[in-house]
Amino acid sequence: MPASTKIISAVDLYRTMYTIKECDDQFWTLMQSGQVVLNYYSPRGQEAVATGICAALDSTDYLVTTYRGLHDHLAKGVPLSDLWAEFLGRATGTCKGKGGPMHITHPDSGLMVTTGVVGSGLPIANGFALWSQINGDGRVTACSFGDGASNIGAFHEALNLASVWKLPVIFVCHNNLYAEHTALAAGTGVTRIADRAASYGMVGVQVDGNDPLAVRDAAAEAVARARAGEGPTLIEAVTFRFRGHQFGDPGEYIDKAEMAAARERDPLPRLRARLLDEFGASPDELTALEDEVRAAVTQAAKDALATPEPSVEELFTDVFATTAGGAA
């Protein structure tokens, strides 16, 4: 790979990761100040997983994600302004304010479903992959979920079916080591979630989820496997969750030393240092990038706050596509 491409690529990954972090920071500030109230599940610490996976996907590939999905939404390309408006329940949001942070959908970006139910995205991801397989459109479907989801029945049903049918799907476990408040070892019978792939005759790989380049490389292999008709892959990206399960959870069940060690592996400063040391980026360039991202996020937040909530007539629209008799 030519060096220049690599520089551009790595800096682009950093831009995405910094956008995720900046959105998270600004949501947090607005919630703390009481300006907005929302059910919010922070992806802070997990930026590299979404960014690496989406770097290996085409814009037409599908992504199904879960309620801790802000990083996925942004990495897949959901526009900042639409996403912010939806998170704040505004009429101009991706879903007209009817979905909210836990139910983002933006088909133009390939972000097809965000589910609020743990593990439920995996069977649905199979459905997208099934139709791609039947109609030969060449698309790959990726599906994000947490380590907690690997203990629910839908995970096991979905992995088995994907393997039996050799579906072009990639299961991406964002292993942040906590299922809500419960540590991995306290609720999961294996130490490596990637090992569970073996039960279904599927390739399972564990990757450093704080390294977007490593995640991207693992995802690229899985995408190639899926497009070649060789079936699904389970990727376990080991990472950490710096804020609690949701806004309002101080995360007291996480040992201070464990948190401090995890923060040492924070994917953002780590990639920034690599950009400077290995990829020839300049400090000025990165500072300019960060300023630019911050300004864009600030503008998206400002615009979202200034837009109206949906009209109450929206309550009754979109329940059905067709009412009895075929009229919309």
Partner 1 sequence: MTTTATRTTRASFRDGVNRALDDAMASDRRVIVFGEDVADREGGGVLTVTKGLSEKYGTSRVRSTPISEQAIVGAAVGAAIAGARPVAEIMLNNFLRVAADQLANHAAKLRYMSGGQTTVPLTVRTICGAAGGFGAQHSDILDSEFAHVAGLKIVAPATPSDAYGLLRSCIEDEDPCLFLEHLKLYFGGPKEVLADVPERIPLGSARIARAGTDVTVVTYSQTVHDALAAAKAVAADGIDVEVIDLRTIAPWDEQTVLESAARTRRIVVAHESAVPFGIGGEISSRIHEELFSQLAGPVLRVGSAHTPVPFAAALESAYLINASTIETAIRKATKA
Question: Is 226 one of the binding residues for partner 1 (CB under 8 A)?
Answer: no
Q: How far apart are CA 176 and CA 174, in angstroms?
A: 6
Binding residue for partner 1, selected from 16, 46, 115, 176, defined by CB under 8 A: 115
Using rule CB under 8 A, residue 37 touches partner 1: no
Given 19, 81, 126, 233, the residue binding partner 1 (CB under 8 A): 126
CB of 38 to partner 1, least distance (A): 15
Nearest distance in Å: CB 183, partner 1: 26
Strand 182-183 and strand 203-208: the pairing is unpaired
Tell me 57's DSSP state. Answer: S
The span of 156-164, 175-183, 208-216, 262-270 binding partner 1 (CB under 8 A) equals 156-164
56 touches partner 1 by CB under 8 A:
no
Sequence-distant contacts of 152-158: CB under 8 A, at least 24 apart: 152/118, 152/119, 153/119, 154/119, 154/120, 154/122, 154/123, 155/119, 155/122, 156/199, 156/200, 157/122, 157/123, 158/122, 158/123, 158/125, 158/126
Residue 142 binds partner 1 (CB under 8 A): no
Distances (CA, A) of 217 to 81, 117, 246, 286: 30, 29, 30, 23
Q: Does 19 sit near partner 1 (CB under 8 A)?
A: no
Contact segment (CB under 8 A) with partner 1 among 131-139, 177-185, 189-197, 295-303 equals 131-139
Q: Scanning residues 61 to 90, which ones bind partner 1 (CB under 8 A)? A: 62, 64
Q: What is the CA radius of gyration of the chain?
A: 20
Distance CA 290, CA 281 (A): 13
Per CB under 8 A, residues contacting partner 1 are 62, 64, 93-99, 103, 105-107, 112-113, 115, 117, 120, 122-135, 141, 153-154, 157-158, 160-161, 164-165, 317-326
